[in-house]
Amino acid sequence: MISKVLIANRGEIALRIIRACRELGIRSVAVYSDADARAPHVRAADEAVNIGPPPSSQSYLLGDAIIAAAKEYGADAIHPGYGFLSEREWFARAVRDAGLIWIGPPAEVIAAMGSKTAARTLAVEHGVPVVPGTTEALRDADAAREVARQYGYPVLLKAAAGGGGKGMRVVRNESELESSLDAARREAKNAFGDDAVYVEKYIEGPRHVEIQILADMHGNVLSLGERECSVQRRHQKMVEEAPSIAVSAELRKRMGETAVRAARAAGYVNAGTCEFLLDRDGEFYFLEMNTRLQVEHPVTELVTGIDLVQWQLRIASGEKLPFVQEGIVPRGWAIECRITSEDTANGFLPSTGHIDYLHLPSGPGVRWDGGIEVGSEVGLHYDPMLAKLIVWAPTRELAIERMHRALLELTIEGVETSRDFHLRLMEDEDFRSGAIEIQWLERKLPELIAVRPPADALRAAVIAAALFADRDRKRGVPSATSSQKKPDASTDRADGGWKHIARLEGLR
């Protein structure tokens, strides 16, 4: 039924959707800002439309211009990806009103789940356990004091319209309450144009475990199992896995049934995610529902064999889900690392520049969902996530080794990236043992970002240095220390080779 899709997004997710379209024989239309005129997603699509200057408020967030482009280019559907317009109720509605197919849940569901307080109310009404707290926005500091006393410190102030960890403040005691409330409100107002803030009990040491669901238009709602997303910095995910080491088959079933119940209660259609906190006692609490494709969807795809983006398109075309719940069992282990253009050793400062060298990992079980190539310009207009590196292996242990190997193969030059940080993470004993929870990374961070080449890299570098020195000696090339002579061509080559190996092995 769908023959041409406009993708209202950029970067890796635009490419991911274009690939799914092509495999289904659907044509694709990309949109791009002036900053992205030469971006890979523009070339990958069958057609592409310029929608404005670099700032997203003047391009990727211009819903009306995007809908006009879809009509002009004869697209019959719009896929929003994640971020940008993906969870804007008005946009989903405008797409539908324009006679186009919206690849996502109905606008009413986005509205119902868009407010955390409304989603909590719906969850409570349908017997879905939520984190203890209020379902209504706080009137003032006095009201905040009262509920905080009721639940006991620490508490978490949260923006009702929240997303991306914005408008959230942990409050450890009453003296911090008023100023934190003001700060959360201000941040919420700035980010979402809505300063409603409510209170949740702050849970110490839980995991973030979320359930992927798929729902068709015929009343079938399925759980595709969990993702473990506890490795977070500032409430933002950095590494995700499927399945979770903390989830048994029995717990998976219970969490899956709960997520399906929440989705049914909301009248959900298409792909969505129920986020939960899982505490140390194995109790889980509903956090929110994300009414779109998630960044971390590939780990679920790799362990279930179900292509989520293709199913988004098929569901939107009216197809029935052919799977039965009992048949959806995770196979093996998948891990995803978000490769960002951030200087991790320098407070994760966004790094800008041109990609001038790129070597991508490959080999068994490796998937690269990227949005960059040599020549790409990395600026400050958009999210710093450049790509996702995803691996699959039969067990968690092997998946960690495989990710480590793939990260060693990855070289990105021109901007600082999180690559080395992820290498150290894969070597970390806590991570390897699975002893992770949402506050773990913040505690561990100083150790992980300390400038320390990964153990393997150091070994490889020493071997490489010895090999090159040996070769040079055999060729009679004077060493840097034995002669002050200007190095000849062969010394240059040796130096280049050494640098290249050092780079490949993570010593940049």
User: What would the two tokens of residue 80 be?
Assistant: 């929003």
Query: Which residue from 202, 333, 392, 468 is in contact with ligand ADP, where contact means CB under 6 A?
Result: 202
Q: Binders of ligand ADP among 430-469, rule CB under 6 A?
A: 438
Residue tagged 């694709």 (tokens): 28
156 binds ligand ADP (CB under 6 A): yes
Residue type, 416: E
Cα–Cα distance between 48 and 41 in angstroms, integer? 9
Stretch that binds ligand ADP, among 99-107, 198-206, 311-319, 393-401 (CB under 6 A): 198-206
Q: Binders of ligand ADP among 50-109, rule CB under 6 A?
A: none
Cα–Cα distance between 458 and 153 in angstroms, integer? 46
Cα–Cα distance between 69 and 74 in angstroms, integer? 8
Q: Is 292 a catalytic residue?
A: yes
Query: Which residue is catalytic, options 185, 227, 292, 424?
Result: 292
Q: What 3-state DSSP class applies to 155?
A: strand
Nearest to residue 393, comparing CAs of 295, 302, 296, 297? Answer: 302
- What does 37-61 look like in DSSP terms, one character per residue? TT-HHHHHSSEEEEEESSSGGGTTT
Query: Which residue from 208, 381, 396, 402 is in contact with ligand ADP, where contact means CB under 6 A?
Result: 208
- Least CB distance to ligand ADP at residue 29 (A): 30
Name, in order, each residue with C-beta under 8 angstroms of 44's C-beta and a sequence gap of 6 or more. 14, 15, 18, 19, 28, 30
- Least CB distance to ligand ADP at residue 157 (A): 10
132 or 497, CB closer to ligand ADP? 132
Cα–Cα distance between 46 and 316 in angstroms, integer? 21
Q: What 3-state DSSP class applies to 297?
A: helix
- Least CB distance to ligand ADP at residue 287 (A): 4
Stretch that binds ligand ADP, among 161-169, 357-365, 405-413, 454-462 (CB under 6 A): 161-169
DSSP state of 58: G
167 or 453, CB closer to ligand ADP? 167
273 or 491, CB closer to ligand ADP? 273
Give whole-number Cα distances, 116 to 163, 211, 220, 452, in Å.
9, 17, 25, 41
163 binds ligand ADP (CB under 6 A): yes
Contact 132, 154 (CB under 8 A): no
- Least CB distance to ligand ADP at residue 246 (A): 14
36 or 87, CB closer to ligand ADP? 87
Q: Binders of ligand ADP among 281-320, rule CB under 6 A?
A: 287-288
125 or 204, CB closer to ligand ADP? 204
- Least CB distance to ligand ADP at residue 32 (A): 27
Q: Binders of ligand ADP among 120-149, rule CB under 6 A?
A: 131
Sign of the CA dihedral running 302, 308, 314, 318: positive
- Least CB distance to ligand ADP at residue 7 (A): 24
226 binds ligand ADP (CB under 6 A): no
Residues in the chain: 508
- Least CB distance to ligand ADP at residue 69 (A): 29
- Least CB distance to ligand ADP at residue 110 (A): 14
Of the chain, the end-to-end C-alpha distance in Å amounts to 50
Beta strands, E only, 253-307: 270-278, 284-290
Name, in order, each residue with C-beta under 8 angstroms of 156's C-beta and a sequence gap of 6 or more. 133, 168, 169, 170, 171, 199, 200, 201, 202
Query: Which residue from 83, 104, 162, 384 is in contact with ligand ADP, where contact means CB under 6 A?
Result: 162
210 or 369, CB closer to ligand ADP? 210
Cα–Cα distance between 320 and 334 in angstroms, integer? 27
165 or 478, CB closer to ligand ADP? 165
Sign of the CA dihedral running 468, 470, 473, 479: positive
200 binds ligand ADP (CB under 6 A): yes
Total of chain residues touching ligand ADP, rule CB under 6 A? 20
Cα–Cα distance between 468 and 471 in angstroms, integer? 5
275 binds ligand ADP (CB under 6 A): yes
Stretch that binds ligand ADP, among 25-33, 43-51, 163-171, 419-427 (CB under 6 A): 163-171
203 binds ligand ADP (CB under 6 A): yes
202 or 498, CB closer to ligand ADP? 202
Cα–Cα distance between 487 and 279 in angstroms, integer? 61
Cα-based angle 380, 62, 109 (whole degrees, multiple of 5): 105
195 or 420, CB closer to ligand ADP? 195
Contact 275, 333 (CB under 8 A): no
Cα–Cα distance between 195 and 138 in angstroms, integer? 10
- Least CB distance to ligand ADP at residue 300 (A): 17
Active site residues: 292
**Which residues here bind ligand ADP, judged by CB under 6 A?**
131, 156, 162-166, 168, 200-203, 208, 232, 235, 275, 277, 287-288, 438
